[in-house]
Structure 1
Amino acid sequence: MRTTDLSELAAFDAVARHRSFRRAGDERGVTASAISHAVSNLEARIGIRLLNRTTRSVSLTDAGAMLLARLSPAFGDIGSALDALNQFRDTPFGKVRINAPNSVAPFVFGPVMGQLIEANPNLELEIVATDRLVDIVDEGFDAGIRLGESLRDGMTAVKIKPSLRLVVVGSPAYFEKHPQPMKPADLQDHVCIRNIYPSGAAYPWEFRHHGKAIEFEPTGPLSLDDHELMVGAALSGITLAYVWEDRARPYLENGRLVECLASWRAPEDWLYLYYPTRKYLSAGLRAIIEALRI
């Protein structure tokens, strides 16, 4: 097989998996037009259309679906064979792409990025931090990070550090105007941020006391999906915020924020690194897992 044949097949494989020329180009490190040209050359040479293209979508023809089903295991074997060469190197080689929530990524990777790169100089670590719900397979990630280990079939989860805890905080200026809440029910009389996902869906403030779980759903004027913005709002003295303790810690330590309802804190949440279950993990991803696991 000519090198150009393999390159064109790899371009088709990327487009078929991502259903996007742009994302396929990002994965392959080339432009979307270069990917389109490669796939068109492949179709011209074999005389069969593999993709249905519109201005808004890309889908597989029956022939394209059959080819993808045969190609994917083959490319997986090639990738595993190449990665196996890492045993002959001192350190792992190649790129690892990881998706992580923006709200927790600094606490996960901040303590380990330096040592990972120093210990693995041939490792290229790409971290995309977003609180948007991401399909790591469709978007070409090797792994993702999320709270909780409830995952769809075909995924493996590894518990990683650190554990995280959410706390209710407000500024001294806020508490000059409002009494500190003594129990979650008191929050009804306070200005509280609505915590939302990027989709706009809200999630409640959760508490636990003597084994009893309690939820509070704020109805305040602010709805935010970013914990840094939440901390900023709390610092301004206009509202209470429900944020990761690590995000608020510098301000709790210097007195610019005050924690309340500490005895009602919900249990710690654990983070998990997850990845598609498969027979062979890349050496780079294994190194990252070892650096992060509990």
Structure 2
Amino acid sequence: MRPPLADLDLLAGVARHRSFRRAAQEAGLSPSSLSERIRALEDALGVRLLHRTTRSVGPTEAGAALLARLGPALREIGEALAEAGGAQGGAGGTLRINAPQSAAQLVLAPLLPRFLAAHPRVTVEVVVEDGFIDIVEGGFDAGIRYGESLARDTVAVPLGGPQRYVLVAAPALLARCGTPAAPRDLLGLPCIRHRFPGGNLPPWVFERGAESVAIRPEGPLVTTDPHVERAAALAGAGFLMTFEEWVSEDIASGRLVPLLREWLPPFEGPFLYYASRRHLPAPLRTFVAFLRALPRDAAE
């Protein structure tokens, strides 16, 4: 007996999420109902498709082989159905986006209310993740990254206007350590560093005209969280280089003082990117059209 197409789609959802609970939420089922349908699918095919433990779930070799063959076909069917639905009263469906914390909170979050208000049949799922991933393998429709991180075989759409880093310090820290007049003056002063998920602790890069200076400052705090960095800077624990948006209110109030601004010019903001293919899912196609139609000042 040929298994129902819907059950094959459920199998793909469990494999994508590596979780019965999350896949069941996406499908609008209870975890127990979903588990029963997967077991019925395995019985019908006469092969185990998923490894199950108390802590994890993942495809067996047979399950992975089946999904590798079925995945493109299931996506095509889903896109065709979404496009058919889009012809009747606007696009609908789920748009899954993977984004780093800075882009998600500073750039994407302000845009989403306008998009969702204009397209009420679309559900947007944003997974915040600073590490680099394969968006296709991860089951995402699109990702958000900065230009230097984009793969060449993707389509990239600007998500917003330019951004910039700022170097800031609390007035009490400046009173104690003095005000640096040039980037290299930061060497030997307490600095707050940001570490990326892969372990990278990047240098601080300053540019003024044709001159570029990269330094590796030291200090009392290294963290992956910009909110921890900001709190430490406000307390006077060290000099901080961060996105201007994270600390704009603190600068306006005088709680933090911007420094060396002539050495920190604006840079290109993040991009929405997706795998190049002929037929885009209706929610992604609608979101791309929304971004392209934004006035530049509305996206900045």
Output the TM-score relative to the length of structure 2. Answer: 0.85
- In the alignment, which residue of structure 2 is the partner of 1:151? 150
Q: In 2, Cα distance between the equivalents of 1:206 and 1:44?
A: 59
- Structure 1 segment 235-250 matched on structure 2, within 5 A: 235-250=234-249
- In the alignment, which residue of structure 2 is the partner of 1:60? 60
- In the alignment, which residue of structure 1 is the partner of 2:202? 203
- CA gap of 1:292–1:5, structure 2 versus 1, over 3 A, is same
- Structure 1 segment 123-138 matched on structure 2, within 5 A: 123-138=122-137
- Structure 1 segment 136-175 matched on structure 2, within 5 A: 136-152=135-151, 155-175=154-174
User: Displacement, 1:199?
Assistant: 4.0
SS in structure 2 of the partner of residue 11 of structure 1:
helix
User: Displacement, 1:214?
Assistant: 2.0
Please say if residues 96 and 125 of structure 1, whose CA atoms lie closer than 8 Å, have aligned partners that are also in contact: yes
Letter in 1 for 2:271: Y
- Structure 1 segment 67-82 matched on structure 2, within 5 A: 67-82=66-81
SS in structure 2 of the partner of residue 96 of structure 1:
strand
- CA gap of 1:138–1:224, structure 2 versus 1, over 3 A, is same
SS in structure 2 of the partner of residue 121 of structure 1:
coil
Please say if residues 16 and 60 of structure 1, whose CA atoms lie closer than 8 Å, have aligned partners that are also in contact: no
SS in structure 1 of the partner of residue 187 of structure 2:
helix
SS in structure 2 of the partner of residue 189 of structure 1:
coil
Q: In 2, Cα distance between the equivalents of 1:105 and 1:261?
A: 27
User: Displacement, 1:169?
Assistant: 0.5
- CA gap of 1:283–1:10, structure 2 versus 1, over 3 A, is closer
Q: In 2, Cα distance between the equivalents of 1:248 and 1:291?
A: 29
User: Displacement, 1:52?
Assistant: 4.7
Alignment pair present for 1:6 and 2:5: yes
SS in structure 2 of the partner of residue 270 of structure 1:
coil
User: Displacement, 1:241?
Assistant: 0.6
- In the alignment, which residue of structure 1 is the partner of 2:101? 102
Please say if residues 165 and 268 of structure 1, whose CA atoms lie closer than 8 Å, have aligned partners that are also in contact: yes
Letter in 1 for 2:231: G
User: Displacement, 1:15?
Assistant: 3.6
Between Structure 1 and Structure 2, how many residues are aligned?
A: 292
Letter in 2 for 1:233: A
Q: In 2, Cα distance between the equivalents of 1:150 and 1:7?
A: 36
User: Displacement, 1:125?
Assistant: 1.9
SS in structure 1 of the partner of residue 48 of structure 2:
coil
Letter in 2 for 1:275: Y
Q: In 1, Cα distance between the equivalents of 2:49 and 2:109?
A: 44
C-alpha distance after superposition, 1:61-109 (max 9, x if no partner) = 2x43443233222212211211112442343212212222222322213
Letter in 2 for 1:165: R
- CA gap of 1:207–1:190, structure 2 versus 1, over 3 A, is same
C-alpha distance after superposition, 1:142-168 (max 9, x if no partner) = 211111254346532222203221111
Q: In 2, Cα distance between the equivalents of 1:123 and 1:12?
A: 23
- CA gap of 1:57–1:124, structure 2 versus 1, over 3 A, is closer
- CA gap of 1:15–1:123, structure 2 versus 1, over 3 A, is closer
Question: Tell me, which stretches of 5 or more residues in structure 2 are unaligned?
Answer: none
Letter in 2 for 1:180: T
Q: Structure 1 residues 44-53 or 239-248, which shifts more?
A: 44-53
- In the alignment, which residue of structure 1 is the partner of 2:284? 285
Q: In 2, Cα distance between the equivalents of 1:133 and 1:116?
A: 26
Q: In 2, Cα distance between the equivalents of 1:33 and 1:148?
A: 43
Q: In 1, Cα distance between the equivalents of 2:223 and 2:60?
A: 39
Letter in 2 for 1:121: P
Please say if residues 149 and 157 of structure 1, whose CA atoms lie closer than 8 Å, have aligned partners that are also in contact: no
- In the alignment, which residue of structure 1 is the partner of 2:212? 213
Output the TM-score relative to the length of structure 1. Answer: 0.86
SS in structure 1 of the partner of residue 237 of structure 2:
coil
Q: In 1, Cα distance between the equivalents of 2:238 and 2:268?
A: 24
Q: In 1, Cα distance between the equivalents of 2:168 and 2:4?
A: 59
User: Displacement, 1:40?
Assistant: 2.0
User: Displacement, 1:17?
Assistant: 4.5
C-alpha distance after superposition, 1:48-69 (max 9, x if no partner) = 33345566563432x4344323
Q: In 2, Cα distance between the equivalents of 1:30 and 1:136?
A: 25
